[in-house]
Amino acid sequence: MLVPLRGHRLHLGRDVLVFDLDGTLVDSAPDLDRALGLLLAEEGRRPVSLSETRSMIGDGVDRLVARALARTGSPVAPPEQAGLVARFLAHYSAGRHALTLPYPGVVETLAALQGRGLRLAVCTNKPIAQTREVLSALDLARWFGAVTGGDSAPTRKPDPGHLLATLDLLGAAPAAAVMVGDSANDVEVARAAGVPVVVVSYGYTSVRPADLGADAVIDSFADLLAWLDS
């Protein structure tokens, strides 16, 4: 279902779509949960549930690890945290993202968007190495002319510099772009960059999608085509 929230044809004249990754294009929570479980077991801590992991995704790997540590005991000092993040990433990559899947309609919709001549990009807070691994493992990389991770630019979402750096890789201005995501970070980065934003209702957010302040909420990724045609 398509739920327009602002009543404007903000997409007109825009030929660049920039997507968040986790919770928007792919459901990566099972693989992230698996890696967290291995790390926490090494630290002698209880595992977190898949629902807990889903609630902690969205601000980058360092915050995910920090939140998991806080939920299962006491936080750690920054120097120790860096080592734990590195170990988490090693566990995460070692699984080769076998439990991660594109959401229904993603592949078909990306193909349709590219077929319309639209330029597509990914802007995610996930580290760029793991971002490229996921896109490659799921055969999604071919759709995107630009990909940036949380360590690709001096800043990351919700700082507008991250989205603007992604657009720079395409040689595109904010006036040509639309952001598609699932969380407050995606809405905030779009607003700060002067870009309209669509959010999916099925992603990783602790705030009701309708309350995030996006220009539209879609229940299915394929509904993006209807929004563009509305």
Q: Which residues are marked as active site?
A: 20
**Ordered DSSP codes for 174-215:** GGGEEEEESSHHHHHHHHHHT--EEEETTSS-SS-GGGS--S
- In angstroms, the CA 40 to CA 163 distance is 33
Is 201:218 a contact under the CB 8 Å cutoff?
A: yes
How far is C-alpha 98 from the chain's CA centre? 18
Tally Cβ neighbours within 10 Å of residue 225: 18
Residue 121's H or E segment, with its range, is: strand 119-123
